[in-house]
Structure 1
Amino acid sequence: MKLTGEIFLETAEIFAKGGPVMYLLLICSVAVAAVGMERFRYYHYAAHGGEEFLSALRGRLKAQSAAEVLSFCRQETSSAGAIASAGVAALAAGENVELALNIAHDEEAMKLRARLNWLSMIVTLAPLLGLLGTISGMIEAFNIFSLQAGQPLAITGGIGEALIATATGLCVSIFALIVHTYFAQRLDEILTTLDKAVNIVLALGKEVAEDD
Structure 2
Amino acid sequence: MDFGILVKGGIVMIPLLACSLVSMAILFERMYFYKKCHTDISTLRKAMTQYIPQKNWTALQGSCDMVGGKAAEMVGEALLHDKAIDVQEKFVDMKGAAIAGELQNYLSYLSTIVTLAPLMGLLGTVTGMISSFNVLATAEGQPFAITGGVSEALIATATGLCVAIIALVIHTYLKQRQNSLLDEIEEVGALYILTLVGDRHEA
Same fold, judged at TM 0.5 (above): yes
Aligned mates of 2:169, 2:85 — CA distance in 1: 46
Per the alignment, do residues 111 and 51 of structure 1 end up closer, same or farther by CA in structure 2, a change over 3 Å counting?
Answer: farther
Aligned mates of 1:169, 1:51 — CA distance in 2: 44
**Which residue number in structure 1 is paired with residue 57 of structure 2?**
66
- Within 5 Å, which residues of 2 pair with 1:135-174? 135-149=126-140, 151-174=142-165
Other structure's SS at 2:48 match: helix
- Within 5 Å, which residues of 2 pair with 1:20-99? 20-92=11-83, 96-99=87-90
Which digits, 9 at most, give the CA deviation of each residue in 1:132-180, with x for residues without a partner? Answer: 1111111111111101137442224421222101100111111111111
Letter of the structure 2 residue corresponding to residue 140 of structure 1: S
- Within 5 Å, which residues of 2 pair with 1:181-196? 181-196=172-187
Does the 8 Å contact 2:47/2:63 carry over to 1?
Answer: no
Aligned mates of 1:133, 1:33 — CA distance in 2: 23
Does the 8 Å contact 2:65/2:72 carry over to 1?
Answer: yes
Letter of the structure 2 residue corresponding to residue 192 of structure 1: D
Q: Which of residues 93, 112, 124 in structure 2 aligns to 1:121?
A: 112
Alignment coverage as a number of residue pairs = 203
Deviation at 1:130, TM superposition (A): 0.8
Aligned mates of 2:125, 2:147 — CA distance in 1: 13
Identity %: 34
Does the 8 Å contact 1:97/1:205 carry over to 2?
Answer: no
**Which residue number in structure 2 is paired with residue 4 of structure 1?**
none
Which digits, 9 at most, give the CA deviation of each residue in 1:50-80, with x for residues without a partner? Answer: 4433344333323452233123223432011
Per the alignment, do residues 150 and 47 of structure 1 end up closer, same or farther by CA in structure 2, a change over 3 Å counting?
Answer: farther
Q: Please, which runs of 5 or more residues in structure 1 have no aligned partner?
A: 1-7
Does the 8 Å contact 1:50/1:78 carry over to 2?
Answer: no
Q: Which of residues 10, 17, 36 in structure 1 aligns to 2:8?
A: 17
Q: CA RMSD in A?
A: 2.1
TM-score (norm 2): 0.90
Aligned mates of 1:106, 1:39 — CA distance in 2: 18
Deviation at 1:14, TM superposition (A): 0.7
